[in-house]
């Protein structure tokens, strides 16, 4: 069994339903990996990194999956700062000999937020990280996006389930890429 720590914001946590309904929980069903949910609603990337540095991690940890950036954009933090924080997480993972993957920012039902998150995505894609893209579980069209979210940003239970199915396949690829 491989254990992967998932650090991030509400989209890791499974807000507003809780970790038991998160995409992480769905992805690990019937798999040979466990996703340890360290998601906290409302955190920006610098706060998530601080929490990572101060969280005792289990000894047999295989890797870290990181998802953040939406709260940074909502708080007006420049995309460059969010990506610098993600780079710090990647460095932390490397120093601890852990594999590292980043969940790309999700397209929400908030057009203004999406434009800021595209900047984060574009900066991230200049890195050589392993990327997990869960957008397929949400959809791309206006109607799909409207149905996918409870409040325009946080997925419905059904959407979290679809995201988990998409994540499972990509996490299996992440595990194969040793």
What is the distance of C-alpha 177 from the center of its chain? 19
Q: For residues 101 and 130, give the distance between their C-alpha atoms in angstroms, rounded to a whole number.
A: 5
167: confidence class by pLDDT, cuts 50, 70, 90: very high
Per-residue model confidence as pLDDT tens digits over 2-60: 999 999 999 999 999 999 999 999 999 999 999 999 999 999 999 999 999 999 999 99
| pLDDT bucket at 177, cuts 50 / 70 / 90 | confident
pLDDT confidence of residue 62:
97
Instruction: Tabulate helix, strand, coil % of the chain (nearest 5).
Output: 50, 15, 35
Q: What is the pLDDT of residues 127-147, one digit of tens each?
A: 999 999 999 999 999 999 999
pLDDT at 111: 87
Of 43, 45, 91, which is closest to residue 66 (Cα–Cα)? Answer: 45
- pLDDT at residue 178 in the model: 60
* Max Cα-Cα span within the chain: 44
Of the candidates 37, 33, 35, 36, the one whose C-alpha atom is nearest the C-alpha of residue 1 is 33
Length of the chain: 178
Query: What are 57-100's pLDDT values in tens digits?
Result: 999 999 999 999 999 999 999 999 999 999 999 999 999 999 99
What's CA 59's distance to the chain center, in Å?
22
Q: Residue 48 belongs to what H/E stretch?
A: helix 45-53
Q: Residue 95 class from Cβ within 10 Å (0-12 exposed, 13-18 middle, 19+ buried)?
A: exposed
Amino acid 135: pLDDT: 95
- CA dist 25 and 37 (Å) reads 8
Predicted TM-score (pTM) of this structure: 0.96
């Amino acid at each position: 069994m491989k254990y992967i720590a998932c650090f991030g914001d509400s989209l890791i946590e499974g807000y507003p339903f809780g970790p038991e309904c998160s995409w992480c929980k769905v992805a690990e069903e019937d798999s040979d990996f466990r996703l340890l949910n360290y998601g906290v609603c409302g955190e920006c990337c610098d706060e998530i990194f601080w929490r990572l540095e101060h969280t005792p991690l289990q000894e047999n940890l295989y890797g870290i999956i990181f998802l953040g950036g939406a709260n940074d954009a909502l708080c007006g933090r420049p995309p460059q700062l969010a990506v610098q924080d993600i780079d710090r997480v990647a460095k932390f993972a490397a120093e601890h000999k852990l594999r590292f993957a980043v969940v790309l920012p999700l397209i929400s039902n908030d057009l203004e937020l999406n434009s800021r998150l595209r900047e984060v995505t574009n900066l991230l894609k200049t890195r050589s990280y392993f990327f997990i893209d869960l957008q397929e579980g949400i959809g791309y069209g206006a109607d799909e996006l409207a149905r996918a979210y409870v409040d325009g940003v946080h997925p419905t239970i059904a959407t979290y389930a679809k995201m988990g199915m998409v994540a499972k396949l990509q996490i299996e690829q992440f595990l194969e890429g040793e």
